[in-house]
Amino acid sequence: MLKFNIRGENVEVTDSIRDYVVKRISKLQKFFEDNVEATAHVNLKVYPNRTYKVEVTIPLPYLTLRAEETSNDMYGSVDLVTDKLERQIRKYKTKINRKSREKGFKNLEFVPSDDDSATTDDLKIVRTKQIALKPMDPEEAVLQMDMLGHDFFIFQDAETNGTSIVYRRRDGRYGLIEAE
């Protein structure tokens, strides 16, 4: 069962917008088993230049689906995000079903679909690398990342001794992921 948490930034979430979002994203339920319960977190934004951004995150027990799209039409952005999520699901489903067939498992978390055209060739790991995690603070990790010209950097947080990742966001700012 898919529940919805819809909120708007600089836009009022009207009943018609809410109904449209629920109608479009509910179509993704056909890919899930009946016993799967999840909440779709939908964030609608309007920018001063009158573009609309729709972000959807659906945390599931076995993966997290996330997509965002920006366009000049709120409803168009919802359609684009739904299509993107469906492609993600098909890609994941194809990969997981292939692995389950190889190992002899049946019926993992997805309901079979008739048109599985996605391939997993682009998911092949082509290089493996080992690294030594050095203790540092997040600011130093950002400096290291920039110095190396990478989009992310894994390090050991000197304060917590936990593994953390800093990354460059699309907007040019930085994010921090801390492992539990």
User: In this model, does residue 124 exceed pLDDT 80?
Assistant: no
- The pLDDT tens digits for 139-151 are 989 988 887 788 9
Q: Name the E strands within 12-136.
A: 38-46, 52-59, 64-71, 135-136
Which of 30-34, 43-47, 98-102, 166-170 has the least mean pLDDT? 98-102
Q: Which of 114, 115, 57 is nearest to 81 (CA)?
A: 57
pLDDT at 30: 84
Write down the CATH number for the domain with range 129-178.
3.30.505.50
* The two domains 2-103 and 129-178 share their CATH topology (first three levels equal): no
Residue 150 φ/ψ region, left for φ over 0, alpha for ψ in the -120 to 50 degree band, beta for the rest: beta
Alpha-carbon Rg of the chain, whole angstroms?
Answer: 20
The CATH number of domain 2-103, selected from 3.90.1490.10, 3.30.160.100, 2.60.40.650, 3.40.1160.10? 3.30.160.100
Give the position of tokens 């682009």. 122
pLDDT at 148: 76
- Give residue limits of the domains in the chain: 2-103, 129-178
Q: Name the E strands within the chain.
A: 2-9, 38-46, 52-59, 64-71, 135-136, 152-157, 163-168, 174-178
- The 3-state DSSP class for residue 125 equals coil
